[in-house]
Amino acid sequence: MTLLLSFCRSLQMLWKNRLYQGSCPRNQTFSVLYSYFHFSKKEQRYFSLTLPFLQNNKATKLLISKAISSSKSGKNKSKQESSVSPHPLFSAGTAKKKSEVLGYKKDQQHSFPFSSPVLLPTKPLNSEEWDKVKENFEQKDIFENWMMAQMVKYNSSIDIAKSLLSWIARKNNGNVGYKLLIGYLTLCVSQRQTTEVIDVYEIMKTRYRTLEPEGYTLLIRGLIHSDQWRETLILLKDIKKIMSPSKKNYGDCIKGALLHQEVNLAWNLYLEMLNHRIIPNWETFQAFFDFAKGVKNNQFEGRLLDILLYLKHNQMYPTEPFAQSIKAWFESIPEKKWKGESVTIHKSGHCSACGRMLESIHLNSEEYEFLKQRVLKDVLDGGDQYRKTTPKLLDVVSQITKQNLQVLVLGRRHMLNGSSRWQKNEMAAVQNMAYCFFADNVSEDDAFLLYATLHSGNHCRFLTRDLMRDHKACLPDDKTRHLFFRWQQGHQLVFLNYYPGKKIIFQSVLTYDTVVQTTGDSWHIPYDENMVERYSYEIPTKWLCLQQQN
C-alpha cells in the first residue's frame, strides 16, 4: 500500500490499500489523496435606435383617441421535507450558507436614480392636470420618462399610463418617443392587456424599421395570447436578421404555438433551439408537460421522454415547479398508472420510496481513460493553479501509518528548513514514517496532486476541501467537465471534523450518479427546491421518484 501526501502548497495525501469503508467490498483496493484549504441595474442596451421614425397619422390618432376615451371613463372610476446532505461540498445550499457565515452579501440591484417617493396619479389626468404635475417636478427634462418608469415599477393602471401618453403626444405633434412606448408596452404585457399590445405593435411596426431586443421580446411575449399570435413568428425572423434570438424569444413563440394547439410547430422551434445550441429555459420545458396533461398521443409522449433524456445527458436539474409538472403529466397518462413523490436518496444509493438502487457514479474504464488523458493534457499541461493553506501534517500521517499504510509525502524543500508552520521535529517524524519527495520551491503542487491521483487508477480516492473549480474550468467541453465532476463526486473525501491529536472522521463519497435516470418502469429526477440557492458546482438533495404501478 502507498500513501501520497503532497505539501507543495498544501497538505495532500494519497494511499493505496485494502481499505474498507461503507458498502465497498473488503478486498477492494483504492487510493486516497488528501488536501485542505480555507474557504475563505445598470440598464444596458445592445445597440441604440438611431433611425428616425416615420410619421403615421393613423397610428397617432389611434393612440390619442384611446387615451382620451380612457381618460373620460377613468373619471368615473375609483382606485419544503429537508434531507441530510450526502456530500457537504456539493450539496445545494452549502456555498450559500458559507457565504452568509463569512458575511458576504449579494450585489443589490441598482434602483432608479430617484429614490424619494413621489405620489403617482390614482386616476387618468387631463392635459391641464399633467401640466400642473410637471410644474411641481424639479428635473423637468426627464419628467416623462421618469413618470412612465414609476408607473411600470408600481404597476399603475393602463388608463393612467394612456392619459400620460396622450398628453405627451399633444405636446409633441403626435410624437411619442421609443422609450416611452417601450415603457407602456411593458405595462401592457405585465397586465396581459392584449388589445393594447396589438395597438402598440401596429404603431411600432409603421414607425420603426427595426427594434431593440427588448422591444422584440415584449411584443412576442404580449402577442402570444392574442389571435395575432402568428405575428410572433414574423418578429422572430426579424430578430434573426440582426442577431441570434434569445431563449426567451424562442420560449415565448413555443408557448404561443402550444396555446393555440400547434404542437408540431412548437416542437420544431424547440429542435431549432437545440440545433443552434440554445438551451431552453425551464418555463419552456414546463410548457410542453403542462400542455400534454391528459393528452393521449404516443408520439408526443415520446417527445417528452426525449426532453427528460436531454436533461440527463446535459446534467440539468429541473426547478421544483417543473418537477411538479413532470409528476402531474406522468400521473395523467391514461391507463399507465404512474405515481410520483418527492424523496431523498440514502447514502447507499437506494431510493427512500421505491428502494431501487440508482446508477453508479463511477466511471467505466473507457470513460476513466478518456478523462485521464484530457486532464493530463488540458489541466496539468495548460492549467492555471492556485494557492491553499495547510493544517498539521503530523497528525494525519500518524493516524494513517497506524493502519500500516505506506506513505509517500510530496512537499517543497522549504519545509525542511524549519518554521512556525513546518517545525523540524515534526518533519523529522514524518520522514521516519513515510517516503518523502521534496520538489523545488517554485513547483506547482496541483500538478503532483492530479498526476498521482489519476495514475493510481480509477480506485483512487482523494481527500480535500478543494472544489477543483479551476481544474474543471480548464477542460474544453461539457462532456469532459461532466466526467470530471462525476469522478470528483465519486472519489473526493472531506473531513467531517478535525481536532489536532484526535481521531479524524471522514465524510463518505457518493456512490450514485446525480442525473435524471430511468429503468423504463421508474424515473428518478433530481430537482432544485424552492428557496434553496444552488451554485453551479452543487447538486440537489431532493428527487422526484416516479413508479409505474402494477
Boundaries of CATH 1.25.40.10 in the chain?
281-360+513-550
pLDDT over 90 (residue 198):
yes
Residue by residue, DSSP assigns 27-68 as T-EEEEEE-----------SS---SPPPP-HHHHHHHHHHHH
The helix or strand, by DSSP H or E, that contains position 131, with its residue range, turns out to be helix 127-135
User: What is the average per-residue pLDDT within 60-73?
Assistant: 52
User: What is the average per-residue pLDDT within 319-341?
Assistant: 94
Could you tell me the fold of the domain covering 2-40+361-507? Rossmann fold (3.40.50)
- Measuring CA to CA, which residue among 181, 188, 240, 255 is closest to residue 215? 181
Q: Does domain 281-360+513-550 have CATH number 1.25.40.10?
A: yes
The helix or strand, by DSSP H or E, that contains position 544, with its residue range, turns out to be strand 542-548
pLDDT of residue 507: 75
pLDDT over 80 (residue 473):
no
pLDDT over 50 (residue 385):
no
pLDDT in tens, 26-39: 333 334 444 433 33
User: What is the average per-residue pLDDT within 94-99?
Assistant: 60
pLDDT of residue 11: 35
**How many Å separate Cα 201 from the centre of its chain?**
33
Integer Cα distance of 232 and 241 in angstroms:
15
Neighbours of 77 (CB within 10 A): 12
User: What is the average per-residue pLDDT within 176-184?
Assistant: 95
- Measuring CA to CA, which residue among 151, 115, 154, 112 is closest to residue 133? 151
pLDDT of residue 475: 82
List the single range of 72-76, 174-178, 516-520, 524-528 with lowest mean pLDDT. Answer: 72-76
pLDDT over 50 (residue 178):
yes
**Residue type present at position 129:** E
Average pLDDT, the chain: 77
Q: Half-sphere exposure of residue 422, counting CA atoms within 13 Å on the CB side? A: 19
Query: In the chain, what percentage of residues exceed pLDDT 70?
Result: 69
349 vs 15, higher pLDDT: 349
List the single range of 35-39, 113-117, 355-359 with lowest mean pLDDT. Answer: 35-39
* Torsion on CA atoms 435, 440, 445, 449, rounded to nearest 10: -40
pLDDT in tens, 119-147: 789 999 999 999 999 988 888 899 999 99
List the single range of 94-103, 205-214, 295-304, 353-362 with lowest mean pLDDT. Answer: 94-103
User: What is the average per-residue pLDDT within 220-226?
Assistant: 97
List the single range of 227-236, 451-460, 473-482 with lowest mean pLDDT. Answer: 451-460
pLDDT of residue 298: 85
Which DSSP letter does residue 415 get? Answer: G
pLDDT of residue 384: 40
pLDDT of residue 1: 34
Query: In the chain, what percentage of residues exceed pLDDT 90?
Result: 46
Confidence of residue 46 (pLDDT cuts 50, 70, 90): very low
pLDDT in tens, 498-539: 677 777 777 778 889 999 999 999 999 999 999 888 877 788
Boundaries of CATH 3.40.50 in the chain?
2-40+361-507
pLDDT of residue 482: 87
